[in-house]
Amino acid sequence: MNRLSIVAANWKMNGSLALVNSMVSELNNVTLNENVEVVVCPSFPYLAAFSLASDNVNLSKAFSLGAQNLNEFANGAFTGEVSTSMLQEVGASYVIVGHSERRSIYNESSVLVAHKVKAALSAGLKPILCIGESEDERVAEQTEVVLAAQLQPVIDEIGIENFKNVVIAYEPVWAIGTGKTASPEMAQATHQFIREFIAKVDENVAVKLPLLYGGSVNATNCEELFAQADIDGGLIGGASLKAEEFKIICSAA
């Protein structure tokens, strides 16, 4: 199956206008394989600048812009929050939803995550839905139970047919920012579980669903991870802030 591969950069609360400009000109020199899309997700204040810089160098259509979060409501008295229409206005076409840092630091439940996924889709933004287990859950052999519990509310909220516009990022929490990557075999086994979980509801949707791996992906381990049958690219944190390393990862997808 020739699925879309995606390499998404999650800058988290890092970066600067200088990084926006230098990254855009560096990305302009990357050669991507066919069927690969690169999505850069800087912090909210840098979205418009990234759009503008991309337009200025006529960056290829294979590069898209994404946000790291959204509010599930269209507008209103939600101080500090950002709506889907605002994200679209500044050029975003993707949005990360349910990152483990949002779930653990900001107490986002799987039900809230499901509402956010629905809001993104309703506005025409593609959600990158993050799911993953903690180290204790992995050790207790609860990984599949945890992933199912994170996925089911989203399936219930949006309906399986709408997963055709969703990207899933499997990110074991213990591998995020720790340097402890899941082995390619472990990552593949978990990706296969996720695809089969979706396939039980709709096989056609499952076959086409891009499943990204995230968790300490770097220039050295990306090739082996991306070569796995059910891994369709990655969600990259720390390594996405270093242009040279990120370019290697993009070209490996």
State which of positions 41-80 bind ligand PEP (CB under 6 A). Answer: none
Structure token pair of residue 223? 């090739």
Query: Which residues pair with residue 128 across a beta bridge?
Result: 96, 167
| Catalytic machinery residues | 99, 171
Secondary structure (3-state) at 132: coil
* Near ligand PEP by CB under 6 A: residue from 66, 91, 172, 238: 238
Number of residues that bind ligand PEP (CB under 6 A): 14
Applying CB under 6 A, among 72, 133, 171, 232 the residue interacting with ligand PEP is 171
Site string for ligand PEP, 194-233 (x = CB under 6 A): --------------------xxxx----------------
Q: Tell me the closest approach of the beta carbon of residue 203 to ligand PEP, in angstroms.
A: 28
What are the φ and ψ backbone dihedral angles of 96, each rounded to 5 degrees?
-75, 135
* CA dist., res. 197 & res. 13, Å (int): 33
The answer on whether 174 is annotated among ligand-binding residues is no
**Cβ nearer to ligand PEP, comparing 76 with 246:** 246
What residues form DSSP beta bridges with 236? 9
Q: How far is CA 2 from CA 76, 205, 212, 227, in A?
A: 42, 13, 15, 13
Residue 177 near ligand PEP by CB under 6 A: yes
Task: Rank residues 159 and 177 by Cβ distance to ligand PEP and give the closer one.
Answer: 177
Shortest reach from residue 176's CB to ligand PEP, in Å: 4
Residue 22 CB partners (closer than 8 Å, separation 6+)? 243
Q: Given the complex with ligand PEP, which of 42 and 215 has the nearer CB atom? A: 215
Rounded to whole angstroms, how far apart are CA atoms 210 and 6?
7
36-63: burial string, b at 16+ Cβ within 10 Å, e else: bbbbbbbbeebbebbbebbeeeebeebb
Q: Is 237 annotated as a binding residue?
A: yes
Closest CB to ligand PEP belongs to which residue? 237
Provide, rounded to whole angstroms, the least separation between the CB of residue 238 and ligand PEP: 4
Output the six-digit token pair for 84.
Answer: 């889907």
Query: Is residue 238 a contact partner of residue 181, using CB atoms and an 8 Å limit?
Result: no
Note whether 98 binds ligand PEP by CB under 6 A.
no
83 makes contact with ligand PEP (CB under 6 A): no
CB 14 within 8 A of CB 240: no
Per CB under 6 A, residues contacting ligand PEP are 10, 12, 171, 176-177, 214-217, 235-239
List, as residue ranges, the binding site for substrate.
Answer: 10-12, 177, 216, 237-238
List, as residue ranges, the binding site.
Answer: 10-12, 177, 216, 237-238
